[in-house]
Amino acid sequence: MNCISVKNVSYKYPYTEGFALKELNYEFEKGKCYGIIGANGSGKTTFCNLLRGMIPHFFEGELTGDVFIEETDVRNWDSNLLSTKIGYIFQNPFTQISGIKETVFEEIALGLENLGMEKEALIDRVIEVVKLLKLEQLIKKNPNNLSGGQKQRVAFASIIAMNNDIIVIDEPTSQLDPESTAEIFSIINLLRNQGKTIFLVEHKVDLIAEYSDEVIVLKDGQITLSGSTQEVLSNMDLLQMGVMLPQASMLSYDMQKANKQLDSIAITKSQVIEQIKQRVGV
């Protein structure tokens, strides 16, 4: 079943001349993780705003074509209800903390309070999420005084608590150190295993290779390449689109050049290791 479909969509921000998104077409299926990549300014965040319904509900401007979220035209969605359907997490950990709660536990509960959840159920739900994301040590802390990585984990917890079917995640780790990045990706992996539909914008293609089912490449607001992760991330054309190939793919191509090619172009480290193991015969 399609959860979001985008048909002939073009979008122009107010007071600008060029289109930020051009002639987009895509059918997104339920339960898959979609990696969205592209150079800076290629329209990734705008695309997220489209999927999240912020376009046209928060961002004015010119929207042509149709976006259907669960079979309903985005224009007909009550924008206040969309937040109960689609979760949204983005790069800046600091602006995602509400600033009105004094403990992490209460911060995570905020979305559920807004949804009007009864207290008993609410507390149980927050406990569940705290355990899932291993935030036990943080619950009594003031969310405003956490580190960036901790804040980002709390931001994830706050959205996950709301139990949306669809989650849009826009460069969640671009301001984080490697350790926090690993923690965030283990959370994304949890969401995948829960069967959520995920849209993930991420610069680090190696991580996209690990976690997404399909990849969409944007360049100048257009989808220039899309398909299964294996297919897209092993395509040398990516380099022309301002995107790096995963290290594993580069290695595979280098080995090809050196006439020591692998059976197929690997995109993740584990694939490379597997293939080399086979060759060496371990």
Partner 1 sequence: MKKMNKLTIFLIPIGIAVNFIGGQIALLLKLPLYLDSIGTITVGALCGGIPGALVGAITNVSISVTNPTSLAYIWLNIGFGLLAGYLSKKGVFKKLWKTVIAGFGFAIIGGGVGSMITILLFDGLGAGTTGMITGMLMTIGFSVQAGAFISELFADLLDKIPTLIIVFFILKSIPVRTLAKLPLGHVLIDMDKVQGASRKVA
Partner 2 sequence: MDYEFINSFKKPQVQNNWFLDLNPLSKLNIILILAIIPIVVKRWEVSVVIILFYFLIAAASSRLKQFSKVYVRLALLIGSLLFIMRAMFIPGEDVLMKIGFLTITQEGVDHGLQFATLVVAICGALVLYSVATQARDLMLVLEKKGVPHTATYVILSSLQSIIDLGNMSKLIMESQKARGIETEGKVTNRIKSFFPILGPLFLGAISNSEEKAIAMDARAFYAPGKNTHLRELRPVSLSEKSVLILINLVFVGFIVWRVVG
- Of 8, 64, 71, 94, the one binding partner 2 (CB under 8 A) is 94
Give, for 37, the enclosing helix (H) or strand (E).
strand 33-38
Structure tokens, 225: 């390449």
Q: Which is nearer to partner 2, 87 or 246 (CB)?
A: 87
CA distance 22 to 11: 7
| Least distance to partner 1, CB of residue 200, Å | 24
| Least distance to partner 1, CB of residue 136, Å | 31
CA distance 197 to 201: 13
110 lies in the site for partner 2, by CB under 8 A: yes
Q: One-letter amino acid identity for 251? A: L
Backbone phi and psi for residue 217, each to the nearest 5 degrees, phi listed first = -110, 125
Contact 178, 212 (CB under 8 A): no
Indicate the pairing of strand 72-73 with strand 21-29: unpaired
Structure tokens, 182: 């690993």
| Least distance to partner 2, CB of residue 222, Å | 24
146 lies in the site for partner 2, by CB under 8 A: no
178 lies in the site for partner 1, by CB under 8 A: no
17 lies in the site for partner 1, by CB under 8 A: yes
> Which one of partner 2, partner 1, none is in contact with 83 (Cβ closer than 5 to 8 A by kind)?
partner 2
Q: Count CB atoms within 10 A of the CB of residue 16.
A: 10
Q: Which stretch binds partner 2 (CB under 8 A): 105-113, 180-188, 229-237, 268-276?
A: 105-113
> Which one of partner 2, partner 1, none is in contact with 17 (Cβ closer than 5 to 8 A by kind)?
partner 1
> Which one of partner 1, partner 2, none is in contact with 14 (Cβ closer than 5 to 8 A by kind)?
partner 1
15 lies in the site for partner 1, by CB under 8 A: yes
Q: Which is nearer to partner 2, 102 or 254 (CB)?
A: 102
The single-letter DSSP state of residue 244 is P
CA angle 102–154–40, rounded 5-degree value: 125
Q: Which stretch binds partner 1 (CB under 8 A): 8-16, 83-91, 121-129, 130-138?
A: 8-16
> Which one of partner 1, partner 2, none is in contact with 60 (Cβ closer than 5 to 8 A by kind)?
partner 1
Number of H helices and number of E strands within the chain?
A: 11, 10
Binders of partner 1 in range 36-95 (CB under 8 A) = 58-61
281: region left, alpha or beta (phi > 0 left; psi from -120 to 50 alpha): left
Is the four-CA dihedral 86, 87, 91, 96 of positive or negative sign?
A: positive
Residues 6+ apart with CB under 8 A from 26: 5, 6, 216, 223, 226
Binders of partner 2 in range 153-192 (CB under 8 A) = 155, 158-159, 162
Residues that bind partner 2 (CB under 8 A): 52, 54, 58, 78-81, 83-84, 86-90, 92, 94-96, 98-100, 102, 105-106, 109-120, 122-123, 127, 130-131, 136, 139-140, 144, 155, 158-159, 162
Residues that bind partner 1 (CB under 8 A): 13-18, 58-61, 99
